[in-house]
Structure 1
Amino acid sequence: MRKHNLRLILFICSIASLSGVILGYDASVISGVIDPLTEHLNLSPWESGWAVSNVILGCVLGAWGVGYISDRIGRKSTLIITAILFVISAVGAALSNSLTDFVIYRLIGGLAVGMASAITPLYIAEVSPKDWRGRMLGLQQMLMVGGQVTVYVVNYLIARGMSHAWIVSDGWRWMLASGVVPCVLFLLLVPFMPESPRWLALKGKTDGALKVLTRLSNAQHAEHLLQEILASANVHTAQSRQSGILRDARARYILLIGCAIAILQQVSGINILLYYAPSLLQNITGSTQASLFQSIFLGLALLVGVAICLSVIDRIGRTPLLRWGAMGCALCLMFTSWAFIAQVDGVIPVIGLVAFVFIFGMSWSLGAWLLISEIFPNRMRAVAMGFAFSSMYVANFIVTQSFPMMNRSQVLMAHFHGAFPLMLCALGSLVAFWFVRRFLPETRGVSLEHIEPLMLSKSHRFASTAQRPTEQPSKPEWSNSN
């Protein structure tokens, strides 16, 4: 008897992961747009930062509300809504003739990004077997980074050989409009996805949940897993509401851990490179097209890093990758900061940035998203993930809004030559190293229904009452749970 229908699981997770392509595309397309847009609309440093960071406010709202939306209409329907919002944003932003119009449509895109960033890993985590959860979520990260690499290439190809005047007047519009293509592809394929069996079970649709679970594994395992899901859901069902989460000390603790993971991922500075790679690299190259070309290598480094993480995260575990990844990121940022301050020419500073992106891809790019999607109990997962991703985007907004002001500050540039933001991010990476070592347990091979006591066992306050799961992460048994 088969353990799991991996072919079907891979198929539906691949479709869900296409939203990752859209996420990566939308996040990184602005890297090629912001400089010509700034010149086209004659934006101040603050307005340039606002043109980039406004989308993150939409992300905060989208991530915060998606838990309630997906709990009511389902995970699948929520994914469809996000794709439609992406199309509206891409077309509207490309046709904008003022900063106000651009901001409005980018805010709509932000809503979609915030919703998709939470609902996609939530859906994948709820349909994936526990022994494959890391790899299935890694597929979404791979496609998200693939979307980032693709948009770097598309931006470069649009700008290559064209006059600077054309890039400023029309080139940036084509960069934005190209994002419609992955959205349409996703909308064509999403009807082939089943609804999340855990959502169906939580809504009392046990027959539908059992049918989906049976398709994903076998009848015996499906029946056993359904009983575990229902037993987990019956524990403080009311706590799935926001107020219930905040009243429960244990839920608050896990929620704070999830929010901290999300924030620490952002203070590493990865989105400075994703959003402002050409602007940052122009401190070295002085050329728009050269900086757009070098951005491709940053995207490729991230893609290779995520691919390696994808292959080892279910064998090595989450916390070792996060812990040593944070230390590696800090060292690379320190090296690059030295190169900027010393005004080292050539490829040395680029090597430091590429190494940072590569190490981040091997660790926090996938590891943080994976932990956020699996540490929360069933009763609060959708809402809690919304909180966590909202925290991620608040931190992202602060980092993104402040970077252009630091990068164009005459005082900071005179003393640090563009290194000051990187030094702050290095400090954030060191804090992340300490946090993982102190607060995060290993969740490799543990089913979603059994992770809560494992999380509480790391807290001095709850360690005496938390019961560790009977499963052994080093040798997971498929028959115990999904």
Structure 2
Amino acid sequence: MKNSEADSNLFDKWHLIVSASVAGLGGLLFGYDNIVISGAIGYLSRCFHLGTVQVGWAAGCALIGCIAGSAFAGSIVDRVGLKKGLFLCAGCFIASSAGILFARTFTQFVFWRVLGGLGIGGASIISPMYIAEIAPTRLRGRLVTLYQLGIVLGILGAVFANMLIQRIGNSAWNTVTGWRWMFFAGIVPAILFAMMIVPALESPRWLMKSGKRDAAYGVLVRVNGGRLAQREISAIELSLATEEGRISELFNMFLRPLLLGIMLAALSQLSGITPLFSFLPEVFRAAGAATTDAFFQSVLVSLVNLVSTLFALWLVDRVGRKTLILTGTMLQCLSFACVGWLYHVRGNGLAVLLFVMTFVAGHAFGNGVACWVIISEIYPTKVRGRAMSIATTALWLVGYLGNQTFPLMQKYLGNDGTFWWFSLAALVNFLCVLRLVPETRGHSLEEITGFWTSDRNAAAPEAAVVHQGGL
């Protein structure tokens, strides 16, 4: 009997591990495909003889795909399910990695990057949504953070692969061939991602709103146990009964969480994290680093990103989401203020590296983790996919504008002015989160939905949101 129970527990843990791994691999591919451009941009710009505006387009075109992918992913998974949505993302990643290897014109390169962007944008919606909907309440913060950990590992993998490939040949080889292999290396985790989706469970909340109660209950029993599963399925039924599932609900009953999600997503990008990683070796070269050193420094920054994310994984269900964002954004503000000053006085390149590291650390344990956790938690089940699409589209739109305008900002504002602008944006992020964002730690998804519809919240919204930063 005891052996049977142990086998059952192991079986249940296996399903949760698979689901968490799927979300983590979705994040890894997000990180890799989004940041691999940082090592390739200098070489492909010479390969295709690109001007300043075209360099910005080469770095930012994938984000156009991200915008489209995030805009439509929510509606698609609301209809077909989260597993099928993840399969579509995997297909985009695989096709993009293979296509860029054989791209012979800049137009072909842009096409395959936009296709990869569709996968990135879709994964940015579906992966955190998937693990948030399947994870037990007590573990949800940490398991959603595994998605961000996957992003960080993908970023580290991209800059490390870039460094190794860059060192294989000389500048001429990298200009013709090397940068293509930087993109193609992403096909390995993309295939693994597709394989892991096969045994993964479907979201119980999607099954419930699709009328598949027995299947949903079976999933909840596997990840929560029988007693908690019964309680949770009753809470889901009650929550679904109060939701109509129409998009119009987002613009009346749930307007507040919709605006909070858009604000969090947009502000997380406004301080420059996407253009920083997209142009990381170029940033260090501008500070006086040699090409090889610039690639190595990019790896060091990504290692800091990883360590800080692991730190956040430990903290997110202990100190809360809001505290992490406030601490992280203030560190980002101070770090880029110092980077701008160092560029202004032509300071030491190692000092620039140090403050870039602290900026990335602030993002990693602040917005990088907590922003995704909150966005995956604050929306009601029936419209969660579409609401996350709207919020994440704002994230990708600001990220695209950052990549597209970064070379122009450097040209017209200088490196010092560019980083001072990003520092000011981080300060705005801090103030908005301090005033407007609630704490969601320790509450089930249905409790959070109930908060937005409660009489208490309607009567005293500011007190409900701001009081002690909690619900």
| Same fold at TM > 0.5 | yes
Q: Which residue of the other structure, out of 300, 320, 324, is the alignment partner of 1:321?
A: 324
Q: Deviations over 1:311-355 (max 9, x none)?
A: 011001111111121111100111111111110124111101011
Matched residue, 1:479: none
1:389-433 deviation line (CA, Å, top 9, x unaligned) = 0010011111110001222x1x533xxxx1222111111111111
Following the alignment from structure 2 to structure 1, what is the Cα–Cα distance between the partners of residues 85 and 213?
21
Deviation at 1:461, TM superposition (A): 8.1
Please name the residue that 1:412 is paired with.
413
2:338 aligned with 1:335: yes
Over residues 202-251 of structure 1, what are the superposed CA-to-partner deviations in whole Å (9 max), with x where a residue is unaligned? Answer: 10000100111111122222122111111111213232xx34423x2x31
2:63 to 52, 56, 81: 56
**Deviation of 1:80 (Å):** 0.8
Whether 1:137 and 2:144 are equivalent positions in the alignment is yes
> Where do 1:14-29 residues align within 5 Å?
14-29=21-36
The answer to whether structure 1 residue 233 and structure 2 residue 240 are counterparts is yes
Equivalent of residue 96 in structure 1, options 85, 103, 124: 103
Tell me how far apart the structure 2 counterparts of residues 350 and 454 of structure 1 sit (CA, whole Å): 43
User: 1:67 offset after TM fit, Å?
Assistant: 0.9
Task: Report the CA distance between 1:455 and its aligned residue.
Answer: 5.3
1:72 Cα offset (Å)? 0.8
1:251 matched residue in structure 2: 254
Asked whether the 8 Å contact 1:440–1:455 carries over to 2, the reply is: no
Change (3 A) 1:161 1:218: closer
Give the aligned partner of residue 425 of structure 2: 428
Distance 2:75 2:52 in 1: 37
Question: What is the alpha-carbon distance in structure 1 between the residues aligned to residue 426 and residue 469 of structure 2?
Answer: 27
**CA separation in 1, counterparts of 2:461 and 2:239?**
18
Q: Distance in 2 between matches of 1:473 and 1:363?
A: 15
- In 1, distance between residues paired with 2:167 and 2:288? 16
Task: Report matched runs for 1:39-438 at 5 Å.
Answer: 39-239=46-246, 242-246=247-251, 248=252, 250-407=253-410, 409=411, 411-413=412-414, 418-438=415-435
The alpha-carbon deviation at position 381 of structure 1 amounts to 0.8
Change (3 A) 1:11 1:468: farther
Structure with the largest fraction of helix: 2
Identity over aligned pairs, percent: 33
TM-score, normalised by the number of residues in structure 2 = 0.93
Equivalents in 1 of 2:329, 2:462: separation in Å? 28
Distance 1:296 1:273 in 2: 13
Deviations 1:278-334 (A, max 9, x none): 111110135222211110011111111110000011001111111121111100111
Measure, in 2, the Cα distance between the counterparts of 1:398 and 1:46: 12
1:464 to 455, 460, 463: 460
1:189 partner amino acid: M
- Classify the secondary structure of the residue corresponding to 1:96: coil
Structure 1 runs (4+) greater than 6 angstroms displaced = 465-469
Residue identity in the other structure for 2:352: P
Would you say the 8 A contact 1:24–1:147 is kept in 2?
A: yes
Paired position in structure 1 for 2:448: 451
Question: Structure 1 residues 230-239 or 271-280, which shifts more?
Answer: 230-239
Contact 1:53–1:401 (Cα < 8 Å) also in 2: yes
RMSD of aligned Cα (Å)? 2.4
- SS of residue in 2 equivalent to 1:234: helix
Equivalent pair of 2:47/2:176 in contact (CA under 8 Å): yes
Q: Take 1:119 and 1:322, find their aligned partners in 2: how far apart are those partners?
A: 22
Which AA in structure 1 matches 2:444? S
Q: Is the 8 A contact 2:28 2:154 kept in 1?
A: yes
The separation in 2 between residues aligned to 1:468 and 1:434, in whole angstroms, is 18
Alpha-carbon distance between aligned partners in 2 of 1:377 and 1:121, rounded to the nearest angstrom: 15
Cα distance between partner residues in 2 of 1:333 and 1:325: 12
Change (3 A) 1:155 1:69: same
Taking the aligned partners of 2:105 and 2:395, their CA distance within structure 1 comes to: 28
How far apart, in 2, do the equivalents of 1:467 and 1:164 lie? 60
